[in-house]
Structures are given as structure tokens and as C-alpha cells.
Amino acid sequence: MQKIFTAAIGRTGTMSLAQAITRYGRRCVAEHEPPALLLQQLAERPFFLRHPWLRPGGRALTLGRDLQRRYLYSDELLGRGAALEWYYRGDQRLALVAARRLRRIERFARRGYRHYVESSQFFLRTFCYEMHSLVPDLGVIKLVRDPVETARSLANRNKSLDLNSLPAHHPGNLFRIPESQILTAFEFYAHLWLETELRWHAFRERTGLTRVVVLQTSDISDPAKLGAMFAFFGIAHDPIEGLMPANTNVGRKLPPTRPTSEDVAAFHRVLAWMPDAQRDRIEYLRGYVAGAA
């Protein structure tokens, strides 16, 4: 069974990609940030669609969601929380996380699927090397979105800053900002975008990975670009039409992603802390002009 993962940061279209692959790919299944909570798995059933107050985002199920994440599908299995420190320390528990993931994936193979895609922001952040050691021929879809747009979209989510990523000053980062620098939420996510790109470069360099497709977030809405991705990985697919973005901020009644001149200035401040040698490794920044997207 072919196994494909995403190298991405949040708000780059990982959920939209997973839905498009599952919808159009033949004998292909994609999961968004597995293992999914039971409530997530039920979310699209007709009963929940008719009773939105009972869906996973509803207040009535907040407690149930927290209990599941604590005792059944932990943050560490997802690839965040304590797993972020495991990555930094080379903790063997990440090998167990990868092995458990692989056992889940093989269940899809027994059900007749030939292609599996995990669309997640946590692959690069925690278990990428452990998974590559188990699956040396894995494929990767590299998702990239304009850094200022990405940081603004993430900041609009108003989530906890320490659950999904390490602090900017943490020694586990390739690019570190002194702890004395107090970052805004936008600056925190701008740093995370840059750190993600550096980790991607390091992962490709260390593993010699070649089975890679690079997609801009906007490409997920382009049938031709999605078709080329399917062709690269040898996945037969149905006609691609009616693509719609998923998990948008506006859809969740959050502020739309409209970067300001202050955002552009903040991105330049964060970028100024980055050594030139690191900046030169990031292909997207070659010739990039913040605010021109």
C-alpha cells in the first residue's frame, strides 16, 4: 500500500486536501490529523448535520471531546503536546507513535485501499524520521502558503500557542529567537512558518527524499494541479469538479484572512532575526516580497 504524508503548517489546506483526495481518488483514503476523535468521525453523519448543536464544535460535546483526547486519542498520538519534546530529545516513544500509525494504516490495506494519505501539520514536527525509517519509499505532499497570510490566518484562530509547537526560543528549533523577545501571536506563527520550512529542508537533505509533490494552497482548488498530483503518485481518480475549501476561518465565524501592513512589518521583524544562511535555504523566500501575494 502506498503511503503519503504532508509536510505543512496549519492553515495551509490540509483538511481541504484530505477531503479532495478521499472524494476523487480511487482506492484511496486520506485522513486529516489522525487518529480522529470518535466525535470527528461521526461529524458528517446525517443526524449530526440536522442537529449542529450536537456536533464536535458544539458546547454539549466539549467535555466528551476532552475526555477522548486525554484517554483514547492523546495529543502525543496526534503528534503534538509532549511529542514535541520527544522530537527534540530523540525519545524512543516517537518510534512507538510511528509504529502504531503504521498499524492503523495497514487496516485500510486489508479493506482494499491501495493508497493512503495522512494530511497533517504534525508529520514534520514530530515523527517524520521514525516514519521514514519504517517506510523508506514514502511520498510527501509539501503544502506551502504565503507566510504572512498563513500567520494571520493562524493568529485569527486564537488557539493556545504551546500545544502544537515549541516556543520560538526552544533549543529544539533550528531557528531560535531569544526568550527576551516577547512575540505577538502573529510573530509566533511567522516564526513557526520559517521553522517548518527549515525542518522540511533538513528532512529532505537527510533522507534523500525524491517522491515529492509541492502544492501551493491555492492549487488544491485547481483540478489540473490536483490531477497532476494524482498522476505523480499513480493514483487513478474520478473527474475533479466542484472543489470547495474546508475549515475556513469565515466558515467558523472568525475574522477573514486579510493581512495588514502591520502584519507585513511584523513578518520582516521576525525574518530579521533569522541568520542569512538559514534564510537562503528556504526556496519560497527567494525573490519573495512580503505583502505582494
Q: What percent of the chain has pLDDT over 90?
A: 76
Determine how many CB atoms are found less than 10 A away from the CB of residue 164. 20
Render pLDDT for 90-131 as a digit per residue (tens, 0 to 9). Answer: 999 999 999 999 999 999 999 999 999 999 999 999 999 999
For the chain, counts of helices (H) and of strands (E): 13, 5
> DSSP code of 279?
H
- pLDDT tens-digit series, residues 23-77: 999 999 999 998 866 555 555 455 555 665 555 455 555 555 566 666 667 889 9
Protein fold of 2-36+73-285: Rossmann fold (3.40.50)
Give, as one character, the DSSP assignment of residue 36. Answer: P
How is residue 53 written as a grid cell? Answer: 448543536
Place of cell 480511487: 26
Q: What is the DSSP string of 149-216?
A: HHHHHHHHH---TTSSS--TT-TT-SS---TTSPPPHHHHHHHHHHHHHHHHHHHHHHHT---EEEEE
Average pLDDT, the chain: 89
- Whether 257 and 150 have beta carbons less than 8 Å apart is answered as no
Q: How far is CA 188 from CA 51, 162, 193, 221, in A?
A: 37, 10, 9, 28
Kindly tell me the burial class for residue 29, based on how many C-beta atoms sit within 10 Å of its own C-beta (0-12, 13-18, 19 or more).
Answer: buried
Q: Which three cell numbers stand for residue 2?
A: 502506498
Residues 6 or more apart whose Cβ sits within 8 Å of residue 174: 195, 198, 199, 202, 278
Please give the pLDDT value at position 184: 97
pLDDT at residue 161, as a whole number = 87
